[in-house]
A and B are shown apart, each in its own frame.
Chain A
């Protein structure tokens, strides 16, 4: 009888860099960069940056982050999104390894609103997966934007305790298209991770 249980996750380990995020340091090419930007992409170009910390508040120098997001019109570059725009080479995916101080950054565009299963708009958000040594399975979280009025009515933020929502909200720097969000894997101000 065929056993169709899923293949379990295992940690990405400490040595993934030369395979997944070589960024010119190894004899291997990058399938992905930390940018989703394409020449034809429309929307507000933003940078999202921050640091990743462990339960002792120590920077995590060997995490890998991946983002998945809609374009500025709220459409996904996936044929499963039947509304997908045919005119953009935008792919909506990027990958970044943290540096020795736990820093990460993404260059992207602010996504448009995406409907929830009831057709109600969600506030603009980006899905974020966090991988790392010591993490047996990656963790899923979301990035929201501090200057979006729609956050107050977002159906996913609504299921998060109010005092933890700030861990999902990237804060805009005054006068710059830059948002900042630190991730805390454990402890005080632990980032909200979702069971998806």
Chain B
């Protein structure tokens, strides 16, 4: 099977310039992107499998001597292509704020406490069916300087590789029914409502572990369609 990567699918992404998000104003190209045919360079991509990930890297609650504070959660789902097929052996990297909405990054000066037992970084590799799973802490919302009283909805950053260099995706996973959605220019930089909904995880009661952790499901859909699809009957 040969996958193709139609550029039309990119209409789900935000436009580079989204003036409500102030940082985009000086960092978005003025000139249109130049179309070109995909060559072998675009159709191939880095292959990083299980050797990239150490045991325990997918559990962000066990990286230090004690347990982090906050609400323990499971985040899991499948990495899929546009035909719904699982994408196996795809590296998934995550990073996030702690339960108080504070990043360990030195430039985050939000006056909320750091947690000595939480760094907030993890990685895993999807299995043969495209399935991935993390254990972490629910991140807090936090203020930022984009506009008066600006707060980011709680989110987990994800970086996913997939089958080719053009499937590369960095996105943010949000939590269901966050009251901050209508006010967040980054979330709303995605023009289509249905596409925005694909960045919101769903609460997963079935996989919530009694007496231990709530579960959220987040499927990641990367570019890629079968070049010669089967007829539908």
A contact residues vs B (CB 8 Å cutoff): 2-20, 22, 25-29, 31, 54-56, 58, 60, 66, 68-70, 76-81, 91-93, 114-117, 122, 125, 127, 129, 131-140, 156, 159-160, 185-187, 190-196
Contacts and interface: CB of A to CB of B under 8 A. Distances in A.
6 contacts: A8-B14, A10-B171, A20-B159, A31-B123, A186-B26, A195-B10
Interface of B: 5, 7, 9-10, 12-16, 18, 21, 23-48, 52-54, 63-64, 80, 82-84, 91, 93-95, 97, 103-108, 119-121, 123, 157, 159, 163-166, 168-172, 186-187, 189-190, 194-196, 198-199, 219-223
A156 to B, nearest CB: 5
Interface of B is mostly: loop
Contacts of A192: 31, 34
Contacts of B95: 15-16, 18-20
A196 B223 contact: no
Nearest to B5: A196
B63 to A, nearest CB: 7
Contacts of A54: 26-27
B28 A80 contact: no
A136 B36 contact: no
Contacts of A18: 95, 103-105, 119-121
Nearest to A115: B40
Given A8-B195, A18-B104, A22-B121, A185 B13 contact: no
A8 B27 contact: no
A194 B36 contact: yes
A5 B27 contact: no
Contact of A15 (B83, B94, B105, B186): B105
Contacts of A133: 23, 27
Contacts of B194: 3, 5
